[in-house]
Structures are given as C-alpha cells and as structure tokens.
C-alpha cells in the first residue's frame, strides 16, 4: 500500500509533509480530500491507525466546525458524519501508511513514520 497524504494544495504544512516523504524516498500519493470528499471508512482508518480520537483530527478554528460542532454535545459518530459533510474540518495534513496514521503538522510527527 502506498502512503496516502490527505492533501490540500493551499496548505504549506501539506507541501512540507510531501517534501519530507520525497526526501525519505517514501512512495505516496496525494488524496485531495476537498475535491474527492471523505467517507466514514477513511476517517475510521485514520482514527484506528493513528490511535486518535475524532477530536484530534478536527480543525477547531474552521467556520464549519464553529457552525456545526462547537458547543454541542455530539457523539463521535455524529462528529464523523459532520466531517464527511464538511471535509474542510479535517486537520491537515494527515499521512496514512499501511500501519500508521499521523497528523503531520511538524517534523516530530513526520519522524514517527520512519
């Protein structure tokens, strides 16, 4: 399985993560989730492989987060449903390998892939 990067071309951290993968000679592909969308199974894979909870992959400063999640008593399943409807809420970049998933916001998190 090639490494999957949940990628937004307007995001400098996404470009940094891709450069890291290239420098480490790791085969990857960019998944442009804002264009392609998200499905529940993808989110569940990220959570499982990253040993993460749904709150750790949400962009809490995003307007869609503020309008649909903040201040509400929602279950994880409800948050995942909202994330599928509003993919901009997904934290980025997220890098998923065969065995791991990381929110790759800095070099320390990227180093976990090696």
Q: Which CATH class is domain 3-111?
A: alpha beta
**Distance, CA of 32 to CA of 36 (rounded, Å):** 6
What pLDDT score was predicted for residue 95?
97
Neighbours of 34 (CB within 10 A): 17
Delimit the domains of the chain by residue range.
Answer: 3-111
DSSP one-letter string for 44-110: HHHHHHHT--GGGGB-TTSHHHHHHTTT----HHHHHHHHHH-GGGB-S-EEE-SS-EEE-SSHHHH
Q: Is the pLDDT of residue 24 over 80?
A: yes
* pTM listed for this prediction: 0.92
Average pLDDT, the chain: 95
In sequence order, what are the beta bridge partners of 30?
Answer: 5
Question: What is the per-residue pLDDT across 61-113, written as a single tens digit (0 to 9) for each?
Answer: 999 999 999 999 999 999 999 999 999 999 999 999 999 999 998 889 998 88
**Higher pLDDT among residues 5 and 113, named by residue:** 5
What pLDDT score was predicted for residue 107?
87
DSSP assignment letter at 30? E
Segment 31-59 shows an average pLDDT of 97
């Amino acid at each position: 399985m090639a490494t999957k990067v949940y990628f937004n071309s307007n995001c400098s951290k996404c470009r940094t993560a891709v450069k890291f993968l290239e420098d480490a000679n790791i085969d990857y592909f960019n998944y442009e989730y804002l264009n392609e969308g998200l499905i529940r199974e993808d989110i569940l894979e990220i959570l499982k492989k990253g040993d993460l909870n749904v709150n750790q992959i949400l962009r809490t400063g995003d307007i869609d987060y503020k309008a649909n999640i903040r201040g509400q008593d929602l279950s994880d399943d409800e948050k995942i449903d909202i994330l599928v409807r509003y993919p901009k809420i997904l934290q980025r970049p997220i890098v998923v390998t065969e065995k791991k998933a990381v929110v790759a916001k800095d070099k320390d998190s990227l180093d976990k892939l090696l």
